[in-house]
Amino acid sequence: KAGVTQTPRYLIKTRGQQVTLSCSPISGHRSVSWYQQTPGQGLQFLFEYFSETQRNKGNFPGRFSGRQFSNSRSEMNVSTLELGDSALYLCASSGGLGKGSYNEQFFGPGTRLTVL
């Protein structure tokens, strides 16, 4: 089975711009979660989608949003980029029906976003 894929792998944007990141989960997985990883804050939960519905949300401002399509692929969007949004954005999929944290998470390689 192919693993979780994320595109693009690297992205450079300037403050004020917006960005869309894409994630394709493992075939058959219906849960997709997004995380932000920075040296200072570590790995932080952004949100989880299951069957096209947001099932859980972390403590991030409304500039961070996401969606999931009927084929389970997911996108996350960050609007009005700030310098502090520079981070590694990781997507993870899981195959269980329970909430994301109840199951093994399969992570993608991440998208490295740099905001100048």
Partner 1 sequence: SQKIEQNSEALNIQEGKTATLTCNYTNYSPAYLQWYRQDPGRGPVFLLLIRENEKEKRKERLKVTFDTTLKQSLFHITASQPADSATYLCALDQGGKLIFGQGTELSVKP
Instruction: Name the residues that contact partner 1, by CB under 8 A.
Output: 4, 33, 35, 42-45, 48, 55-56, 58, 90, 92, 99-110
Torsion of CA 40, 91, 94, 105, to 10 degrees: -30
Picking from 42, 107, 49, the residue whose alpha carbon sits closest to that of residue 77 is 49
Residue 86 or 103: the one with the smaller Cβ distance to partner 1 is 103
Picking from 28, 26, 46, 32, the residue whose alpha carbon sits closest to that of residue 88 is 46
Residue 81 or 91: the one with the smaller Cβ distance to partner 1 is 91
| CB 79 to partner 1: min, Å | 23
| CB 15 to partner 1: min, Å | 26
Q: Do residues 3 and 64 make contact, with C-beta atoms less than 8 angstroms apart?
A: no
Q: What is the spatial distance between Cα 29 and Cα 51, in angstroms, rounded to a whole number? A: 10
Residue 28 or 104: the one with the smaller Cβ distance to partner 1 is 104
| CB 112 to partner 1: min, Å | 9
